[in-house]
Structure 1
Amino acid sequence: MRTAAILATLGVASCAVAEDVLYSRRRLSKRFMDSHGNYNMTFIHVNDVHAHLDEYAKSGSDCTDPSKGCFGGYARIKTKVEELRETYPDHLLLNAGDEFQGTLFFSYYGGEKIADTINNLNFDVMTLGNHEWDKGDEELGKFLKNLTFPIVSCNVKSEYEALNKTVKNYHIFDKHKLAIIGATTETTKGISNVGNETSFLDVTTEVQKAIWEIRNTTDIRRIVALTHIGYEEDQKLAKNTEGLSLIVGGHSHTLVGDMPNAAGKYPTIVEDKSGKEVFIVTSYRWGEYLGSIDLTFDKQGRALSYHGAPIHMTNTTKFEKSLQDKILAWRKPFEEFSNKVIGTTKNELDQTTCQKEDCLLGQAMTDAMLDYRRNISKNVGDELADFAFMNAGGIRATIGPGNITRGAILTSFPFGNALVQLPYSGKDLRKIIEGWVSRESQFSKKKTTSWFQISKGIKIEYNPDNDPGSKLISVSVGDKPLDDDRQDYRVVTLDFVARGGDNLVEPTTESAALDTDSDIFEAYVKANTPLTNELEKRVIVTDKKTPDSTLTTGGNNATSTSKAGYGSSGTSDARGSSGAASSLNMPIVFAFAVAAIVSFVM
């Protein structure tokens, strides 16, 4: 890298890390067009807020004890945004998508209150995340019509009128002589509820087309990409295009900066196809950080220098009162329902590692799925299921130790996906599991878009250093090695996965949908409270190079069921592939069991 990063001594209130100042060929200019034609511009940005309109605890659940730390909240973000706007008059406020899905604000209100909130902040432009399609094209269209700022995504092509008329390839800010191009992950079709009239084209191709169109038809040279494709894909986009100076991204929930466990620098600097530098920034998830980067452009549109860092949105930043009052009022209709205590847990049911390895909440959920299905089978005299699995992207938030509320369960499992059981041969099951650990389907050769979680009754051993297609070392089901010749393995999963979501299995619709994931977990908590689950090694990393069949799971775990007979034959009626109905006897069902869709990468 030709540029040299220098830690600035300037402190910034509420900033989680020391700000950086980078000098690249020229020194940092003042905030106006100087005699060389250099121009200063500030970009303030969020991504992947996921309906966290109000502050939350570190786990992602509601903030009930501010003394332990509370984060995010749009009223807090608004306070900081207004401060930055006053300090830096030449600015843009950018939203990199995934406003939908993640808390009861979305489950109860859909996109209505999210639209009210982000309009209140006066965003300048937004791109679309995959979760914006979680309720389908029609609901997204209604949401977009209520927004008061431009929406951009150059690779989204739709014949649906509400999208076609609203979503543009890019937006030009004449005041700043600057264009912002939007882009959305191509995987959206497989991980959300996209209609047949909408498609997602290759991001790199479409972004480059938009760059050339802007350059050939206008005098704009300052070009920024606002993306929802993920941190690694942002770097690939920078390397494989030319003409961008800045990429503001989202989707992968990546922490960047100088804080512990950061995945990279803020900004990350990559050279494009022509050897020019592109700055890449993103701001983690849920509004915990507000990104802020000040760039100096030369007259050719190249970024010469930067000043900025992610700002940590802790409870040291005050709420903007009028917006916070609205948010608190919106909570009231669902608070009594969501605050009902279902049971307790001794240990924290962690979600944070679900996308890379075993996690306790994933194990508890898949155990609940397996117990539920086995109890049904016992009641009707069927053969028992062998094991359960789910996509890690369907697990959205950690549940802390102590009381487990209905709201916490719905926040962790907000999608309303329904349980299904699928039959597999041992041979096909081996290929499926190889696809999981290789992160590439061995049937379609498509990349998988989520890691997985498995129940008791199965153990998997793999070598991540082996070539894709050869990573799987051993699988045991029950107390026996996986038998390629067996034709009747019974596997429990979610209908989203069964239909091909995240490319974890070959798509099928030939299965009856049972209760929803959140209902099943609520019943599991009631039956087993207090939960004493502890993390087990079910997916094991090894340095073995060749497959073997020596690993077993142990008989007790393979045959255990829950303490109560929930999931009786009276709850086993199929309710269609959407899995949208709830079996809970409650006065308000509204939209908690959302149509069967699930998420993303992290």
Structure 2
Amino acid sequence: MKKIRFFAVFAAVLFFAVSCAGMKPLAQNASMDAPLEVTILHINDHHSHLEPVKIDMTIDGVKTKALFGGYPEVVNQIKALKASVKNPVTLHAGDAITGTLYFTLFGGSADAALMNISGFDYFTLGNHEFDAGNEGLKKFLDYLKVPVLSANVNPEKSSILYGMWKPYAVMMIEGQKVGIIGLDTVRKTVDSSSPGKDVHFTDEIETSQKYANELKKQGINKIILLSHGGAEKNFEIAKKVSGIDIIITGDSHWLFGNEEMKKAGLPVRAEYPHKFMSPANEPVYVVEGWEYSKFVGELKVTFDKNGIVSAIEGKPHVLVHDTWFERKNKEGKKYNPEGAEKAAIVAALQQLPYVSIAKADQEAATLLDKFKKEKQALGSEVVGSITGEVMPGGSPNRIPNTANPKGSIATRFVAETMLSEMRSLGTGNIDFTIQNSGGVRADITPGNVTFNDAYTFLPFGNTLYLVDVKGSEVKQILEDALEFALAGTSTGAFPYGAGIRFEANQYKDSAGKRLVKTEIQNRETGAWELVNDNKMYKMGTNAYIAGGKDGYITLGKITSTRSGEDTYLPDAESFIKFLKTHPSFSAYTDSNVILHFDPNNEVMKK
């Protein structure tokens, strides 16, 4: 009996000594050194997009518009997957808020309420979480019950945000530890959002290595980086940081997928998952889940006994509804397929391995319905007022004409609101903005302006985009837009600006040009200066034309080869913020555009 007690005491002492030395007891090694399979379920950048959106894709060989996503549909997909996969780890890679009236009206409470029933294990901060400053973020996090991680966002002890998140977490799965590090994008958060001066940021790469090392010192050899650093920055992290196995990214809104998805016209930017090798010559896999509640990622990962990824299987879930479709007939007229044609579309969708038919989770749908009804009521709330004259906009006023030689004053006003909002955020010393007239859908009339009015003027959900351009490129961008608008291709391409003005001919001169003079306002002195062909300027615009759409060919080439920045700030939101800070604004009566008409061109005689 004494021998038994002696050996029991000896074993306990040995276990304590081994543990204190940082070594693993033999009894636990069997578990800790065994292979481990987990399934990571993830989304990112839902940006307060809680309802389905209409997207084009090719279905059964025909271009078809369908309803994609919706947040209750995301919840349903996550719940179904969690019930069917092994060891689920459910993550949100940031930018939950900002983007629709749901955020404008509810300040993050609607998003938080739905996230709370989504089953997330962890959420990391995105740059747009700071759009309403420290106070706005705190309100959002006060509602949110999901644990928050961010290793490179460090509030001072005196900050109201201090202690509201941790740099990393450790999950226990089948007796094994899996580390999860949170990360935010630095430059975009500082330059294009509104963090307080009491919040400090550290470099993404240095921070990732620091905490990977810290987790390894704790004996953790399976590490996930939950990073709102964007695809390109996370590709760099994958190649420069050792110890990280999986990177779940957000911020860049990239759809990771496969060739079959590309053939369907979906904007796939990288393979799901995308493989790299770390400096330690170990595999690192990066994935991102598109945007706006349209996608749920499913990544099955097998770690070997040393914590190295030995097998991986990615399954993207694009959430497509089977209830509504739109196509064009031979004459180009839109119609909604019904009967046999609709059934064939649904059957084709069901055969696509990357498509999951979107179904709403009932609990989430009921919760969203409460906010939706309140949104409809609050949409009529006044955000400001405009005095003075009507600012013409919409289709009849897109191009200056003999009846309205000043053109779309409403578009000029929108460009001014864009410039004001970007400058209020300290966004990179922006010089000027350009807005295409087709993006402004109606006159802006004197009187009270409501939330609904703002989204009526600017209904497309375009986001504000920043890019550096040379003076010579500025001129060519305007030439492209003028050609596209005045040659009859699309009148909506006609450009208006803030901080920039130009004089042009409706007809081409002998050199094939339309511009006569272009000036940019010096942001320090306020003086108007001729554009310097060799000077670099910071230009703001909307993401639609920044992508080369509506005839902005040169601009599209620039953004495809040179680093630009989509702020993901909605144009309607900037319009609203401008009116809130200018509650009784006097309408513009002048234009930044002078267009000389060709008297022989009847198109201009409106």
| TM-score tier (shorter) | 0.5 to 0.7
Distance 1:195 1:504, change over 3 A: farther
Partner of 2:162: 164
Q: Which residue of 1 aligns with 2:527?
A: 488
Note if 1:86 corresponds to 2:83: yes
Helix, strand or coil: the match of 1:174?
strand
1:102 equivalent to 2:102? Answer no
Q: Is the 8 A contact 2:441 2:457 kept in 1?
A: no
Q: Give the SS at the match of 2:129.
A: helix
Deviations 1:197-244, CA, capped at 9 Å, x for gaps? 11211011011010111111x221110100011111110011110001
8 Å Cα contact 2:473/2:554 also seen in 1: no
- State the AA in 1 paired with 2:365: Q
- Equivalent residues of 2:221, 2:307 under 8 A apart: yes
Aligned to 1:290: 296
Residue 50 of structure 2 is matched in structure 1 by 53
Contact 2:301–2:309 (Cα < 8 Å) also in 1: yes
Out of 538, 545, 570, the position equivalent to 1:504 is 538
Q: Which residue is 2:510 aligned to?
A: none
Q: Does 1:40 align with 2:74?
A: no
- In the TM superposition, what is the alpha-carbon distance from 1:95 to its structure 2 partner? 0.4
Q: In the TM superposition, what whole-angstrom CA distance separates every residue of 1:106-133 from its partner, at most 9, and x where no partner exists? A: 0000011111110111210011000000
Give 3-state SS (helix, strand or coil) of 2:67's partner: coil
Structure 1 541/95 Cα, relative in aligned 2: closer, same or farther at 3 Å?
closer
Residue 120 (structure 1) aligns with: 117
Which whole-Å deviations, capped at 9, do the CAs of 1:3-51 have from their partners, x for residues lacking one?
xxxxxxxxxxxxxxxxxxxxxxxxxxxxxx9997211100000000000
Q: Is the 8 A contact 2:295 2:317 kept in 1?
A: yes
Residue equivalent to 1:328: 369
Does the Cα contact within 8 Å between 2:392 and 2:409 map onto a contact in 1?
Answer: no
TM-score, with structure 1 as normaliser: 0.58
Deviation of 1:535 (Å): 2.9
Q: Note the alpha carbon deviations across 1:162-202, whole angstroms, 9 max, x for none.
A: 42201211011123510100110011110101111112110
Structure 2 residue aligned with 1:599: none
The CA deviation string for residues 407-461 of structure 1, in whole angstroms up to 9 with x for no partner, is 35566569999xxxxxxxxxx9949969x99xxxxxxxxxxxxxxx96375599x
The reply to whether residue 190 of structure 1 matches residue 229 of structure 2 is no
Letter in 1 for 2:455: G
TM-aligned CA deviation for residue 135 of structure 1:
0.3
Counterpart code for 2:527: D
Q: Quote the RMSD (CA, aligned, Å).
A: 4.9
Structure 1 CA distance for aligned equivalents of residues 553 and 528 of structure 2: 18
Q: Which has a greater percent of strand? A: 2
- Corresponding position of 1:479: 516
Deviation at 1:337, TM superposition (A): 6.1
Alpha-carbon offset, residue 301 of structure 1: 1.7
Does residue 205 of the first structure (1) align with residue 216 of the second (2)? no
Higher mean displacement: 162-171 or 250-259: 162-171
Q: Deviations over 1:513-543 (max 9, x none)?
A: xxxx99xxxxxxxxxxxxxxx9344746899
Candidates 258, 267, 270, aligned match of 2:276: 270
Amino-acid identity (%): 24
**Is the aligned partner of 1:407 residue 2:455?**
yes
Partner of 2:337: none
What is the deviation of 1:329? 1.9
Matches within 5 A, 1:40-439: 40-58=37-55, 68-159=65-156, 161-175=159-173, 176-187=176-187, 188-216=189-217, 218-258=218-258, 259-260=261-262, 261-315=267-321, 316-335=357-376, 338=379, 367-369=412-414, 389=433, 406-407=454-455, 409=457, 430=471
8 Å CA contact retained: 2:248, 2:286: yes
Larger Rg: 2
Cα 1:389–1:364 change in 2 (3 A) is farther
Q: Aligned to 2:269, what secondary structure does the other structure show?
A: coil
Alpha-carbon distance in structure 2 between the residues aligned to 1:240 and 1:196 = 30
1-structure distance, mates of 2:417, 2:300: 53
Q: Which amino acid aligns with 2:122?
A: V
Decide whether aligned partners of structure 1 residues 114 and 40 sit closer, same or farther in structure 2, where only a CA change above 3 A counts.
same
Higher relative contact order (CA 8 A, sep 6+): 1
Q: 1:147 to 1:540 in 2, by over 3 A?
A: closer
SS in 2 for 1:299: coil
Question: Where does structure 1 lack aligned partners over 5 or more consecutive residues?
Answer: 1-32, 60-66, 350-362, 374-386, 418-427, 438-452, 461-475, 492-502, 507-516, 519-533, 544-574, 586-602
Q: Distance in 2 between matches of 1:483 and 1:114?
A: 41
Provide TM-score, normalisation by structure 2. 0.57
- Distance in structure 1 (CA, Å) of the matches to 2:376 and 2:238: 44
Following the alignment from structure 1 to structure 2, what is the Cα–Cα distance between the partners of residues 312 and 415? 23
- Which of residues 550, 553, 559 is equivalent to 1:535? 550
Gap regions ≥5 residues in structure 2:
1-29, 57-63, 322-356, 382-390, 399-407, 419-430, 443-451, 479-493, 505-512, 531-536, 543-548, 559-575, 587-606
